Chains A and B, each alone.
Chain A
Amino acid sequence: MKIEDLVGLIGSEFGDEVVDELLHRVRRGFDDALNLIRRPQAALGVVKSPLGNLLVATSARGIALNHFMDAGSDLAATIAHLRLDFDPVEDEKAVGEIGKEVRGYLAGDADALRHHVDLTLAKNPFQQKVLRKLQDVPRGAVVSYQALGAAAGAPRGARAVGNALHNNPVPIYVPCHRVIAAQGRIGGYGGGLPRKLQLLRSEGFAMDNAAKRVPDSVVWGHKVTRIYCRMDCRTTARVDRNRILMFASPQEARRAGMRACKICHPDAPA
C-alpha cells in the first residue's frame, strides 16, 4: 500500500453512521444558534415596468430595494449590498406584485403603491431621516433639496440631501423624483432624467422631455399656513422658502388640505 493511501485512511475508523449521528446531534443546537444571528429573508426578482426593468427585493418588513437595472450601476454591487442585511432568495412571484403596483401608479392610480417601505438599506441615520421626511411630500407636489434638508434638520445641507437621494434604495416608493433644485430647475435623477420627467408627468406636472424647469402654472403651498399662491403673488417674495411645496395645480394643493390665497386668487384663470 502506498503511503499516500495510508494517509488517506486516517479517520476511516469513523464510519458513515458516526457522521450521520453527529450531524443529527449537532443540527438542533446549530439551528438555535443560527436563529440568533439570522438575517431576514428577502424575495429578489426582476419586474418589468414602463420605466424599464426593476430589480426588486421585498421581505416581511416591506419593499427594501427597487433598482433601475440599466442605470449604469453595477448589479453585482447592488446585490452584494443587499446581502449584508438580507438573505435573498430568487422569487419572481413574490415580487410580481411590485410590478403591478408600479404599472398601476404610472397609469394614474394614485393609491397603487401599497407596499410598506423598509429603509434598512439606507446608508446612515441622516439619509434615513431624509428619506422618511421625503415620504411626507404628497403626489402632485415637489420640494427643493434645500427645503427637504431643512425638514430633516439640516437647512444648509442641500448637497447632503442630494447624496441621500442618490443612495435611495427604493426609488418610486420613496419619491426622490419629487425633489428639484432651487428656483424651480429640475435637478438630476439617479435613474436618468427622462424617468424623473416621466414620473412627474404621471403625477400631473405638464412637462415634456426637454423641460428644464417646473412649469409656471405650479402653485406654491405653505406647509405651515396651509395657504397656496400663484408663483408671482406678492407674498411669495418674503416667504420662507424652506416651507414651500410646489403643486402641479390648485386641485393638487386642495387635495393636500390647503386653501387658496385671497390676494392672488390662484384658482381664477390666468
Chain B
Amino acid sequence: MALENSHLPPPFEELMRRHEREIMRYLLRVTGHREDAADLFQETFIRAYRAYPRINPDGNLRSWLYTIATNLCRNRARDSARRSRVIVQSSDDPPPDALGKSHCSPHEDAGYAAVRMRELVSGLPAKQRQSIHLRYFAGFEYAEIAAAMGCSEESARANVSQAMRKLKATW
C-alpha cells in the first residue's frame, strides 16, 4: 500500500537536481556576476531547505524557489546600494538616461545586444526589473509573479508593461 503523492513532497535532493541549473542561470542573469550568482545560489537552497517542511507539498515548488532567489537578489541589491551610497558617481559613467536612442543601433550582434539590454534593464526601477526577469526568463504567469513579488496581479501586469514601454522607447 503506497502513500499518495500529495502527502509527501519529493526529497529535497530531487527538487534541487530538478531546478538547480535553472536557478543558477536565473541568478547569473539577474546579477550578471559569477561570484554573486554562486553565493546567492548557495543561500537560496539553504533557505529553501530550512523552509521545506513548512511549505505546502501541493504548491508550485518551482515558483517558490524563484521567489526565494528573487528576494535574496533584492536584499543583496539593497545592501550593496546602502554600502556604495557614499561613493560619488564617476563622471565617466554616463547616467542610465543618457544611454538613449542616439546610441547607434548595434542590433546585429546578439552578444552585444544582450549586454546593452542588461544596461537598459539595470536602469529600471527594482520592481519592474524583477518583474520582467520573472516574466521573460522564468516564463511566469502574472499570478506567479504577483505571488513571488508579494504584490497584486494587476501591479505585476503594470510593472511588466511599463518596463517594456520604457525599454521600447530607449532601445
Contact = CB atoms under 8 A, between A and B. Distances in A.
B28 A18 contact: yes
A258 B46 CA distance: 56
A37 interface: yes
A18 B54 CA distance: 33
Q: Most A CB atoms within 10 A — which of B29, B30, B168?
A: B29
B53 A80 contact: yes
Interface stretch (A85-93, A172-180, A214-222): A85-93
Interface string B17-60: 00011001100111010100110011001100110111000000
Interface in A75-101: 75-76, 79-80, 83-84, 87-90, 92
A13 B111 contact: yes
Contacts of B34: 14, 18, 22
A26 B28 CA distance: 14
Given A11-B29, A30-B46, A75-B7, 5 more contacts: A6-B114, A11-B28, A12-B110, A22-B34, A23-B24
A26 B117 contact: no
Interface in A7-61: 7-14, 18-19, 22-23, 25-26, 29-30, 33-34, 37-39, 44-46, 48, 53, 55
A208 interface: no
Interface residues of B, number: 45
Interface of B: 1-3, 6-8, 11-12, 20-21, 24-25, 28-30, 32, 34, 37-38, 41-42, 45-46, 49-50, 52-54, 107, 110-111, 113-115, 117-118, 121, 132-133, 136-137, 164, 167-168, 171
Given A13-B115, A75-B7, A83 B53 contact: yes
The 3 closest A-B pairs by CB, nearest first: A11-B29, A83-B53, A9-B114
Given A1-B107, A19-B25, A37 B8 contact: no
A3 interface: yes
Given A4-B136, A46-B1, A9 B113 contact: yes
A252 to B, nearest CB: 35
Nearest to A11: B29
B38 A25 contact: yes
A6 B117 contact: yes
B136 A26 contact: no
Given A6-B113, A83-B53, A87-B11, A23 B3 contact: no
Contacts of B136: 4, 7-8
Given A34-B49, A37-B49, A44 B3 contact: yes
Nearest to A20: B21
A74 to B, nearest CB: 10
19 contacts: A3-B171, A6-B167, A9-B113, A10-B29, A10-B133, A11-B29, A11-B137, A18-B28, A22-B24, A22-B37, A22-B38, A23-B24, A30-B41, A33-B42, A37-B49, A46-B1, A48-B1, A79-B7, A89-B11
A7 B132 contact: yes
B12 A46 contact: no
A26 B36 CA distance: 12
Contacts of A12: 110-111, 114
A29 B115 CA distance: 30
A6 B118 CA distance: 10
A84 B53 contact: yes
A88 B5 CA distance: 13
A3 B171 CA distance: 8
Contacts of A84: 53-54
B2 A92 contact: yes
